[in-house]
């Protein structure tokens, strides 16, 4: 099975600035929207905040040494806009210097830096001018991107504009579950479009800046995608609900970037909520820049019904971010008979294979794909022997990597896999309640312990363990 991975297949792990760095107010960094949101009572579980997180800002060399021990080829991290341009005015040299040290440390250890510019931590100062609902933020994002390139462009070749714009628009501006915590569907759709615009503007600017580099830049975007599975495939109401969710969660994000257009059925579905009005002439040409890769984040599929939730026997969680657009009585998410992680997310490795193959077939012009996030949360404990035995996560990882291999055999051009996450960390609205790391972090002492799943991942990378369990 391991033989089906291309020779230069990239094995990595991923993190995000706000989830690990801490030092939230050090060396010139000012509040991001997540700092502010986490101070709102009830917004984040247990009142947790990213103030200290896992102190990566101060422990970066130790964390890079862990990556080296695991044998990672690449490390996917994000830069914090609120650290680089805290008030979105002057550039904070001390903040950029941290990322410069990180990049040097990675390169000295033979690890490819894979940089993401936006993993949700907008400077609060930009939020106060309207955040992503304001078109101007797209232009500010481009300026921030070029400021990062000015300092790191001589050493960083792989650039991702956005991580999961679905979350930083719909979940943040419509569902109110993520910072800035708004419940305004029209603002959410404006945020979608302005993030797309920011992607296009930054891609074009980086492309131009990179033209002089010895090695051409690799520029892409990371989307979180799902397969919307109709609960009853013979029921036209369920089929239509699945179509709507596929439009709203997948195609609204892929198609402007890859095809240069919004799906017509999606524009109809959200008519009256202002999306068409914020799309100005020329925008789609800017958004539709050639990209070198598509990052795919995959955690689970979504079984969808178009019937009121009452018809479904058990509904553990509704997804309120769908409701402003399709009506909460219109779409529901019946649970399926599959194992679940501590997030209550389905474990369904074949869904990853199916998604990668579907993208390949549906979008012939798609660039190579990288799985930029995949992983699982379980309730880990440090055992008396000092180790963390997490067999469920090991099985999860092996099965999902085997699913990627299968997708490649079926024709998907997948060039790498980044496990989420290197370290246990601040899991957004869940705070420190949910652990996704292959390295355990004791939040009192900040002691790091490689979990059994981390050792297994290292063995897979080294070719000593087959992913097929
Ligand atoms: C993704 C996010 C990442 C992490 C994982 C569990 O949606 O990109 O930061 O929270 O989920």
Residue 179 domain flag: yes
Residue 400 domain flag: yes
Q: How much is the pLDDT for 7?
A: 85
Q: How much is the pLDDT for 339?
A: 95
Give the model's confidence band at 100: pLDDT under 50 very low, under 70 low, under 90 confident, else very high.
Answer: very high
Residue 160 domain flag: yes
CATH of the domain at 111: 3.20.20.80
Domain residues for the domain of 213 are 2-227+291-297+340-462
Residue 337: alpha-carbon gap to chain centroid:
26
Residue 405 domain flag: yes
Give the model's confidence band at 310: pLDDT under 50 very low, under 70 low, under 90 confident, else very high.
Answer: very low
Q: Which atom of ligand 1 is nearest to the CA of 436?
A: 6
Cβ-proximal residues to 177 (8 Å cutoff; 6+ apart), any chain: 171, 320, 321, 429
Q: Report CA-CA distances (Å) from 106 to 66, 109, 114, 155, 449.
A: 11, 5, 10, 10, 20
Give the model's confidence band at 323: pLDDT under 50 very low, under 70 low, under 90 confident, else very high.
Answer: low
For a ligand 1 pocket test, name from 373, 393, 429 the mutation site with the most ligand atoms within 8 angstroms of its C-beta.
373
341 lines ligand 1 (CB under 6 A): no
- On the question of pLDDT at 318 being above 60, the answer is no
Q: Determine the Cα–Cα distance for residues 223 and 230; give it in Å rounded to an integer.
A: 22
Q: How much is the pLDDT for 463?
A: 92
Q: How much is the pLDDT for 309?
A: 52
Please tell me the residue having the least CA distance from ligand 1 atom 9.
16
> Ligand 1 centroid vs 426 CA: distance in angstroms?
10
427 lines ligand 1 (CB under 6 A): yes
121 lines ligand 1 (CB under 6 A): no
> Ligand 1 centroid vs 342 CA: distance in angstroms?
14
Stronger pLDDT, 65 or 89, i.e. the higher one = 65
For a ligand 1 pocket test, name from 13, 114, 297, 418 the mutation site with the most ligand atoms within 8 angstroms of its C-beta.
297
Q: Which residues pair with 440 in a beta bridge?
A: 449
Say what percent of the chain tops pLDDT 70: 94
373 lines ligand 1 (CB under 6 A): yes
Stretch (H or E) spanning 287: helix 283-287
- On the question of pLDDT at 213 being above 60, the answer is yes
Give the model's confidence band at 306: pLDDT under 50 very low, under 70 low, under 90 confident, else very high.
Answer: confident
Burial class (CB in 10 A: 0-12, 13-18, 19+), 89: exposed
Please tell me the residue having the least CA distance from ligand 1 atom 4.
427
Q: How much is the pLDDT for 272?
A: 86
Residue 313 domain flag: no
164 is catalytic: yes
Q: Are 273 and 242 in contact (CB under 8 A)?
A: no
Q: Which atom of ligand 1 is nearest to the CA of 167?
A: 7
| Interval 161-193: pLDDT, tens | 999 999 999 999 988 889 999 988 899 999 999
| Interval 403-443: pLDDT, tens | 999 999 999 999 999 999 999 999 999 999 999 999 999 99
> Ligand 1 centroid vs 293 CA: distance in angstroms?
19
In this structure, of 215-224, 261-270, 330-339, the range with the lowest mean pLDDT score is 330-339
- On the question of pLDDT at 321 being above 70, the answer is no
**What is the pLDDT averaged over residues 311-315?**
37
Q: How much is the pLDDT for 308?
A: 64
Q: How much is the pLDDT for 332?
A: 75
Q: How many domains does the chain have?
A: 1
- On the question of pLDDT at 365 being above 70, the answer is yes
> Ligand 1 centroid vs 116 CA: distance in angstroms?
13
Q: How much is the pLDDT for 2?
A: 52
Residue 90: alpha-carbon gap to chain centroid:
28
| Interval 268-295: pLDDT, tens | 988 888 999 999 999 999 999 999 999 9
| Choice among 105, 177, 373, 427 that is catalytic | 373
Q: Report CA-CA distances (Å) from 304 to 131, 232, 248, 308, 325.
A: 31, 9, 13, 11, 15
164 lines ligand 1 (CB under 6 A): yes
> Ligand 1 centroid vs 13 CA: distance in angstroms?
12
Residue 320 domain flag: no
3-state secondary structure of 370: strand
Q: How much is the pLDDT for 327?
A: 47
| Interval 112-163: pLDDT, tens | 999 999 999 999 999 999 999 999 999 999 999 999 999 999 999 999 999 9
428 lines ligand 1 (CB under 6 A): yes
- On the question of pLDDT at 311 being above 60, the answer is no
**What is the pLDDT averaged over residues 8-31?**
98
- On the question of pLDDT at 400 being above 60, the answer is yes
Residue 457 domain flag: yes
Stronger pLDDT, 357 or 271, i.e. the higher one = 357
Q: How much is the pLDDT for 61?
A: 98
Q: Determine the Cα–Cα distance for residues 155 and 112; give it in Å rounded to an integer.
A: 10
98 lines ligand 1 (CB under 6 A): no
Cβ-proximal residues to 281 (8 Å cutoff; 6+ apart), any chain: none
**What is the pLDDT averaged over residues 256-266?**
97
| Choice among 164, 255, 406, 427 that is catalytic | 164
> Ligand 1 centroid vs 306 CA: distance in angstroms?
27
**0.85 exceeded by the pTM?**
yes
Q: What is the mean pLDDT of the chain?
A: 93
> Ligand 1 centroid vs 213 CA: distance in angstroms?
32
Residue 259 domain flag: no
């Amino acid at each position: 099975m391991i033989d089906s991975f291309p020779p230069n297949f990239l094995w990595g792990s991923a993190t995000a600035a706000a989830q690990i760095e801490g030092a939230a107010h050090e060396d010139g960094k000012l509040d991001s929207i997540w700092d502010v949101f986490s101070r709102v009572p009830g917004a984040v579980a247990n009142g947790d905040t990213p103030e200290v997180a896992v102190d990566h800002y101060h422990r970066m060399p130790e964390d890079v040494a862990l990556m080296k021990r695991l044998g990672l080829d690449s490390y996917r991290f994000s830069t914090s806009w609120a650290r680089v341009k805290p008030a979105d005015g002057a550039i904070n040299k001390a903040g950029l210097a941290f990322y410069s040290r990180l990049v040097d440390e990675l390169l000295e250890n033979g690890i490819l830096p894979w940089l993401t510019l936006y993993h949700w931590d907008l400077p609060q100062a930009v939020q106060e001018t309207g955040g992503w609902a304001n078109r101007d933020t797209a232009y500010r994002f481009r300026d921030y991107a070029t400021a990062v390139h000015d300092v790191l462009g001589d050493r960083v070749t792989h650039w991702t504009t956005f991580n999961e714009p679905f979350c930083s628009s719909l979940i943040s501006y419509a569902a109110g579950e993520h910072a800035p915590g708004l419940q305004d569907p029209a603002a959410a759709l404006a945020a979608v479009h302005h993030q797309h615009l920011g992607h296009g503007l930054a891609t074009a600017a980086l492309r131009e800046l990179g033209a002089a580099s010895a090695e051409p830049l690799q520029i892409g975007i990371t989307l979180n995608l799902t397969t919307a599975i109709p609960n009853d495939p013979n029921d036209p109401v369920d089929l239509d609900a699945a179509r709507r969710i596929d439009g709203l969660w997948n195609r609204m994000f892929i198609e402007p970037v890859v095809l240069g257009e919004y799906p017509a059925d999606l524009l109809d579905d959200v008519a009256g909520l202002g999306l068409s009005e914020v799309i100005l002439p020329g925008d789609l040409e800017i958004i539709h820049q050639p990209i070198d890769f598509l990052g795919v984040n995959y955690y689970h599929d979504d079984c969808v019904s178009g019937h009121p939730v009452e018809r479904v026997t058990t509904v553990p969680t509704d997804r309120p971010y769908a409701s402003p657009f399709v009506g909460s009585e219109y779409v529901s998410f019946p649970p399926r008979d599959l194992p679940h992680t501590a997030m209550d997310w389905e474990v369904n490795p074949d869904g990853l294979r199916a998604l990668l193959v579907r993208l390949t077939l549906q979008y012939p012009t798609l660039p190579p794909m990288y799985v930029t996030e995949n992983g699982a949360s379980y309730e880990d404990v440090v055992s008396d022997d000092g180790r963390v035995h997490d067999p469920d996560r090991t099985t999860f990882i092996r099965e999902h990597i085997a699913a990627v291999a299968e997708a490649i055999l079926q024709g998907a051009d997948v060039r790498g896999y980044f496990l989420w996450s290197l370290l246990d960390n601040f899991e957004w609205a869940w705070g420190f309640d949910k652990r996704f790391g292959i390295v355990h972090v004791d939040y009192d002492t900040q002691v790091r312990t490689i979990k059994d799943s981390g050792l297994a991942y290292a063995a897979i990378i080294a070719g000593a363990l087959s992913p097929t369990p």
